[in-house]
Amino acid sequence: MGESMLGYYVRVEEDVHLYVEDLNPKGKRTILFLHGWPLSHKQFEYQFNVFSSLGYRCVGVDWRGFGKSDKPIHGYHFSRLADDIRSVVEALQLDDFVLLGHSTGGAIAIRYMARHQGFGVSKLVLVDAAAPVGFTAETAEHFLNLASNDRPKMMREVAESFFFQFITRPFEEWFLHLGLEASGWSTAAVIKMLRDETLYDDLQKVQAPTLIVHGVHDQVIPFAQADEMKQSIRHSILVPLYYSGHGGFWEERDRFNHEVHRFIEGELT
Query: What is the pLDDT averaged over residues 10-14?
Result: 97
Higher pLDDT, 200 or 5: 200
Per-residue pLDDT of 38-60, as tens digits, reads 999 999 999 999 999 999 999 99
Q: At 19, which CATH number? A: 3.40.50.1820
269 pLDDT higher than 80: no
Query: What is the pLDDT averaged over residues 217-246?
Result: 97
Q: Is 145 within a domain?
A: yes
**Average per-residue pLDDT for the chain:** 96
DSSP letter for each residue of 61-76: EPPTTSTTS---SS--
Q: Which helix (H) or strand (E) holds 233?
A: none
pLDDT at 228: 97
1 pLDDT higher than 50: no
Cβ(236)–Cβ(262) under 8 Å? Answer: no
Which phi and psi (to 5°) does residue 240 adopt? -75, 140
Q: Is 269 within a domain?
A: no
Q: Which of 5, 178, 20, 181 is nearest to 85 (CA)?
A: 20
From 22, 62, 84, 218, active-site residue: 218
Pairing of strands 121-127, 236-241: unpaired
Helix axes of 184-196 and 151-162: crossing angle, nearest 10 degrees:
50
CA atoms of 168 and 86, how far apart (whole Å): 37
Q: Is 28 within a domain?
A: yes
214 pLDDT higher than 70: yes
Query: Residue 86: pLDDT band by 50, 70, 90 thresholds?
Result: very high
pLDDT at 90: 98
Q: Is 56 within a domain?
A: yes
Q: How many other C-beta atoms are found inside a 10 Å radius of the C-beta of residue 29?
A: 16
Could you tell me the pTM of the whole model? Answer: 0.97
Per-residue pLDDT of 95-145, as tens digits, reads 999 999 999 999 999 999 999 999 999 999 999 999 999 999 999 999 999
* 258 given a catalytic annotation: no
Question: How far out from the chain centre does Cα 177 lie?
Answer: 17
Per-residue pLDDT of 166-191, as tens digits, reads 999 999 999 999 999 999 999 999 99
Q: Is 44 within a domain?
A: yes
From 40, 52, 103, 244, active-site residue: 103
Domain assignment of residue 55, given as a range: 5-264
Q: What contacts 263, CB < 8 A, 6 or more positions away?
A: 123, 125, 209, 211, 237
The secondary structure of residue 164, as a DSSP letter, is S
2 pLDDT higher than 90: no
Cβ(220)–Cβ(37) under 8 Å? Answer: no
CA atoms of 142 and 146, how far apart (whole Å): 6
* 246 given a catalytic annotation: yes
pLDDT at 3: 65
pLDDT at 178: 97
CA atoms of 245 and 226, how far apart (whole Å): 13
Tally of domains within the chain:
1
pLDDT at 242: 98
* 218 given a catalytic annotation: yes
Query: What is the pLDDT averaged over residues 90-97?
Result: 97
